[in-house]
Amino acid sequence: MKFLLALPFFACLNFAAPVAQAQTAPAAVQAATSGVATAQFKTSAVCDMCKARIEKSLAYEKGVQSAVLDVPTKVLTVTYKADKTTPATLRTAVQKTGYDADELTADARAYNRLPDCCKKTNPVH
Ligand SMILES: [Cu+2]
């Protein structure tokens, strides 16, 4: 998934980018029940570009079925297959995207590459 991290570094102009559609497609085939768990993490996301970036990054993580970030609360909700990944792995994926995950601080290099409007010093906007 590392190559994906290079993609979202454009300015925050394309809010309407239909990223959310792409991420839901692969999970649709999955049988609904066995071994599916949900985890929630508080992130440092501040805008819709952060939302798109995090959701896209998590969607490509192994075992992830869906990832939805609520921008006002900064809470990321991930549905995943418990035999394929763990909450710790998912938090690491958030860090590597440039965002804090609960008590874990964002990966510095990824954070530095975020556009200015996505820095966590900004208020939610
Ligand atoms: Cu942002």
CA of 117 to the centre of ligand 1 (A): 6
Average pLDDT over the chain reads 84
Q: What is the pTM of this model?
A: 0.73
CA of 47 to the centre of ligand 1 (A): 4
Question: Residue 4: pLDDT above 70?
Answer: no
Q: Dihedral through CA 15, CA 100, CA 93, CA 48, nearest 10?
A: -10
Dihedral sign for Cα atoms in the order 55, 57, 58, 63? positive
CATH numeric code, 20-27+34-113 = 3.30.70.100
Question: Residue 32: pLDDT above 80?
Answer: no
CA of 82 to the centre of ligand 1 (A): 29
pLDDT tens-digit map of 53-77 = 999 999 999 999 999 999 999 999 9
Residues 6+ apart with CB under 8 A from 112: 98
Structural domain boundaries in the chain:
20-27+34-113
CA of 98 to the centre of ligand 1 (A): 10
